Amino acid sequence: MHLAEATWTDVSGDGNADDRADIDVALLPVGSTEQHGPHAPLGTDTLAAETVTARGAAAYDGEVVVAPAIPVGVSEEHRHFAGTLWVSPDTFRAYVRETVESLAAHGWDRVVVVNGHGGNVDALREVCARLTRDGTAYTVPFTWFEAVESSLEMGHAGPMETSLLFATQPELVREGRLEDAAADGAARWGEWEAGVNLAYDSAAFAGNGVVGDPREADEQQGEALLDDAGERLAELVAVVIAREWESGA
Ligand SMILES: [Zn+2]
Ligand 1 centroid distance, CA of 51 (Å): 13
Domain definitions of the chain by residue range:
8-242
Ligand 1 centroid distance, CA of 81 (Å): 14
Ligand 1 centroid distance, CA of 118 (Å): 7
Ligand 1 centroid distance, CA of 5 (Å): 26
Largest CA distance in the chain: 61
Ligand 1 centroid distance, CA of 154 (Å): 9
Question: In sequence order, what DSSP letters do the residues of 167-208 get, joined into one string?
Answer: HH-GGGS-GGGHHHHHHTSBSSSS-EETTEE--SSGGGT-TT
What CATH number is given for 8-242 in this structure?
3.40.50.10310
Identify the DSSP state of 15. Answer: T
Ligand 1 centroid distance, CA of 18 (Å): 39
pLDDT at residue number 220: 96
Q: Which residues pair with 113 in a beta bridge?
A: 28, 141
Identify the DSSP state of 36. Answer: B
Strand locations in 109-174 (E): 110-115, 138-143
Nearest in space to 104 (alpha carbons), one of 5, 15, 32, 23: 23
pLDDT at residue number 20: 54
SS3 percent helix, strand, coil of the chain, rounded to 5, is 50, 15, 40
Q: Kindly report the pTM of this predicted structure.
A: 0.94
Per-residue tens of pLDDT for the chain, all 249 residues: 999 999 998 888 655 555 555 677 999 999 999 999 999 999 999 999 999 999 999 999 999 999 999 999 999 999 999 999 999 999 999 999 999 999 999 999 999 999 999 999 999 999 999 999 999 999 999 999 999 998 888 899 999 999 999 999 999 999 999 999 999 999 999 999 999 999 999 999 999 999 999 999 999 999 999 999 999 999 999 999 999 998 886
Strand locations in 47-180 (E): 64-66, 110-115, 138-143
H helix or E strand, kind and range, residue 96: helix 89-105
Ligand 1 centroid distance, CA of 52 (Å): 13
